Amino acid sequence: MPCGPDLGALTVMDGRNQQLAEALAEQESLLESAAASERLLENVIDSVGVGIVVVDRDGHDVLMNRAQRRIHQLASPPGNDDPNESQLLLWHPGSALPMPPEQRPVRRAVLQETFTNSLVAMGQTQREARVLSASARQVIDHRGERSGAVVVFSDVTSYIDMVRSQEQFVAAVSHELRTPLTSVIGYLELAQDDGDLSRETASYLQVAQRNADQLLLIVQDLLADQVARSGTEQLTLRPARLSEIAQQAAESVALRAEKRGITLERKIVETPELPLDAQRLQQAVGNLLSNALKYTPRGGTVCVHTAVEDHHLELAVTDTGIGISDQEQTNLFTDYYRTETARNSDIPGHGIGLSLTRRIVVAHGGQISVTSRPGEGSTFTIRFGLDEVEWADRA
Ligand code: ADP
């Protein structure tokens, strides 16, 4: 066996060292470019004007960009620099009601909800709050599993202010139109009472009156809409029962149902008292009932029922009417929206009632939903969480 270094083995080791050094250099350059990409991404995320929050599957913050940190600060309670989401000062936009924890955008995203343009107001007081539009998407990892969620907030305060001033303008104009129109209708009625009118003149006056009545209906609808919009900011909450509201709303449409040949059923169980604005809710339930009567042909059935579940109260209006397709249901609560069937029919309407109803329900911290099948009928359900009562109470 020869003494001295095994030159063959040394050469092999030298080669391996070199390979190792090359691999290390490659890894270092990969790490550097990964760090550079991360810095670039951070800069991009920090420079956009929208707030971005990324949470992991347990709801812990993974990332929050600069815009979102500012939003967070805006909604932090005085003396608390690092509040969690449930402590943030979040409000239902356009109302004086704090938003309950489970309706808050990040919480909903953590609960695996995906949504677009959900409005929320954030700030120390409702009056000085900014209005933000929140959208959430779930994050799926390379194995196809949910690893968290991303929520994006954009400030739409100036857009909302613009819409509000437009609404105030419409309210002022419709108010100004109502008085002269009422007078025109009054004089048209008087003129028609004159027994000496020729048949031709009488028919002219009839047409004029029909059109003036129609115009007055439009103006009244616009006004009711505006009152409800501003009214939701000033809800008068007093202990009231949803069951009594349902009963009264049913009574006020009973005669109309009879005249239209529709059976009106009531399955009303007494519900516990909640802090509610009974007058506004009466208007909301009245809208659902008058829609049910309007969109149900003679011989059909309309039913109003209430139920008390473990954690919520329910009021539902069911009809056996024309129904609404799945696709159209998604737009139903939007201002001025009417389904194609309604537009093509001679059933009068302006597409204001449901959006108004929704606003009243949401201002109370409740929810409204619809299930329907074309040709078979619809059910509109209003739901109030019992766990949220303390929220409404504080308003
Ligand atoms: P309007 O009835 O004055 O048009 P709404 O805002 O109350 O306005 O309703 C919006 C639209 O929703 C209606 O035009 C109609 O197309 C549809 N809709 C509402 N309620 C019902 C119902 N019970 N059955 C079928 N369609 C309905």
Position 2 scores a pLDDT of 55
* Distance from Cα 213 to the centre of ligand 1, integer Å: 21
Position 78 scores a pLDDT of 86
Position 234 scores a pLDDT of 62
* Distance from Cα 323 to the centre of ligand 1, integer Å: 9
Position 1 scores a pLDDT of 53
350 within ligand 1 shell (Cβ under 6 A): yes
Parts of the chain with a pLDDT under 50: 390-395
* Distance from Cα 266 to the centre of ligand 1, integer Å: 21
75 within ligand 1 shell (Cβ under 6 A): no
* Distance from Cα 272 to the centre of ligand 1, integer Å: 30
Q: Tell me the per-residue pLDDT of 292-341, one tens digit each, with 9 for 90 and over.
A: 999 999 999 999 999 999 889 999 999 999 999 998 998 888 877 889 88
* Distance from Cα 294 to the centre of ligand 1, integer Å: 8
Atom number in ligand 1 closest to CA 323: 25
Neighbouring CB atoms inside 10 A of 57's CB total 15
Position 227 scores a pLDDT of 62
> What residue owns the CA closest to ligand 1's atom 18?
291
332 within ligand 1 shell (Cβ under 6 A): yes
- Pocket probe mutation, ligand 1, options 293, 325, 332, 336, max atoms within 8 Å of Cβ: 332
353 within ligand 1 shell (Cβ under 6 A): yes
> What residue owns the CA closest to ligand 1's atom 19?
291
- Pocket probe mutation, ligand 1, options 339, 350, 355, 361, max atoms within 8 Å of Cβ: 339
Position 392 scores a pLDDT of 40
295: buried, middle or exposed (CB in 10 Å: 19+, 13-18, 0-12)? buried
374 within ligand 1 shell (Cβ under 6 A): no
* Distance from Cα 354 to the centre of ligand 1, integer Å: 7
* Distance from Cα 291 to the centre of ligand 1, integer Å: 6
Atom number in ligand 1 closest to CA 338: 14
* Distance from Cα 343 to the centre of ligand 1, integer Å: 10
- In three state form, how does the secondary structure of the chain look? CCCCCCHHHHHHHHHHHHHHHHHHHHHHHHHHHHHHHHHHHHHHHHHCCCEEEEEECCCCEEEECHHHHHHHHHCCCCCCCCCCHHHCCEECCCCCCECCHHHCHHHHHHCCCCEEEEEEEECCCCCCCEEEEEEEEEEECCCCCEEEEEEEEEECHHHHHHHHHHHHHHHHHHHHHHHHHHHHHHHHHHHHHCCCCCHHHHHHHHHHHHHHHHHHHHHHHHHHHHHHHHHHHHCCCEEEEHHHHHHHHHHHHHHHHHHCCCEEEEECCCCCEEEECHHHHHHHHHHHHHHHHHCCCCCCEEEEEEEECCCEEEEEEEECCCCCCHHHHCCCCCCCCCCHHHHHCCCCCCCCHHHHHHHHHHHCCCEEEEEEECCCEEEEEEEEEHHHHHHHHHC
250 within ligand 1 shell (Cβ under 6 A): no
Q: Tell me the per-residue pLDDT of 368-382, one tens digit each, with 9 for 90 and over.
A: 999 999 999 999 999
Atom number in ligand 1 closest to CA 354: 6
* Distance from Cα 131 to the centre of ligand 1, integer Å: 28
> Taking the alpha carbons of 96, 313, 248, 345 in that order, is the dihedral positive or negative?
positive
321 within ligand 1 shell (Cβ under 6 A): yes
* Distance from Cα 12 to the centre of ligand 1, integer Å: 83
